[in-house]
Amino acid sequence: MKYYMPTKLYSGHNCVKEHADELASFGKHALIVTGRGSARKNHSLKDITDVLDSRGVSYTIFEGVEENPSVETVMKATAIGLDVKADHVIGVGGGSPLDAAKAVALMINNPDRSWEFLYENTKAEALPIIAVPTTCGTGSEVTGVAVLTRHDLKTKISMKHKVFPNLALVDGKYILSAPRSLVINTAIDAFAHLVESAVNSNADYYSLLNVIGGISLWRSCRPYIDDQDPMASKLDEASALRLMEASAIAGISIAQTGTSLPHALSYMLTYELGIPHGPACGMFLARYLELSDDKIKDDILAAAGFESCEELGVFIDRLAPVSANKEILKRSAKSVLSNTAKLKNCPYNVDEKKMDYIAGV
């Protein structure tokens, strides 16, 4: 067994300001990497810049990260970071800005390398990274993974280097202003991380402790994302924090095991059809779980509050419906089946018939 989690994580109300001294301790000039406006709307960006201003830390803001960030965006932000001589990087936003921030921190610290370096199996250090998540799904604040869009290959691929944030600051208030659809979609992504970490060749007692605890916490938040739940209620700051913490636990889980087939199958759907990442993963989850070992399947369903995989599938389809034609599902299934690296995390043997079943072909 093994367990590795180098990121220091704090969560709680006003988390950024409560840990202001630590946030401001990483250098003299921060490159803040964020998306195209949400960090201003939810005030996470202002919380960060207020702390940096009060501690005399200068900063440059890069607000150009798109959903499913591209290698080209990473290199654009890298050029800005090099120009201003940034000595640390702060990622703020959903998984896209956080993943981009990791890649940017790596490239700034290796200024003589081209973008291909992101996909080289070599050891390298990145600048220090602080992660402030504002969605409840990716768990990127506690993983070493950065998934980037490769337009040359028309898909998304994780960079080879593992770059963990040094510090993660989690505050539920940042998702209170998010569209309901975003909260649901990212919550489905967090659940996918938990399931794929459990139904995984790399799972062990340490990772499963995180998974079952994370699923139980996620279950307690179902009334806040499902308006048909008997206990349905409006999302408030306390429940928002629980969703964010469930996401972080899910991130810690996949940091130990990696993801598996639902994530691998999702990438083509996201790239070609623009389907949001969470629903794209979620549409494969119930069938992936159905084929797994009975013991872990029953444990997951019980912790999540579902009687069967069929009930889970109906739940996900109702909250985050996906429309994908059979042709692209078949192509995605064929692509994943031919990729041994993507198959290795699945703990059961998968042939063409099983892959087609999981893909819904």
Domains of the chain and any CATH numbers: 8-174 (3.40.50.1970), 180-359 (1.20.1090.10)
Mean per-residue pLDDT for 268-282?
Answer: 95
pLDDT at 311: 98
**pLDDT band of 230, cuts 50, 70, 90:** confident
Per-residue pLDDT tens for 169-225?
999 999 999 999 999 999 999 999 999 999 999 999 999 999 999 999 999 999 999
At 95, list the tokens.
């998984």
Please report, to the nearest 10 degrees, the dihedral formed by the alpha carbons of residues 234, 136, 70, 49 taken in order.
Answer: 90
Integer Cα distance of 52 and 56 in angstroms? 6
In this predicted structure, the answer to whether residue 1 has a pLDDT above a threshold of 90 is no
Mean per-residue pLDDT for 226-237?
Answer: 90
Mean per-residue pLDDT for 78-96?
Answer: 97
At 157, list the tokens.
């691929």
Per-residue pLDDT tens for 328-354?
999 999 999 998 988 999 999 999 999
Give the global pTM. 0.95
**Nearest one of 269, 272, 291 to 282, comparing CA atoms:** 269
Mean per-residue pLDDT for 72-98?
Answer: 97
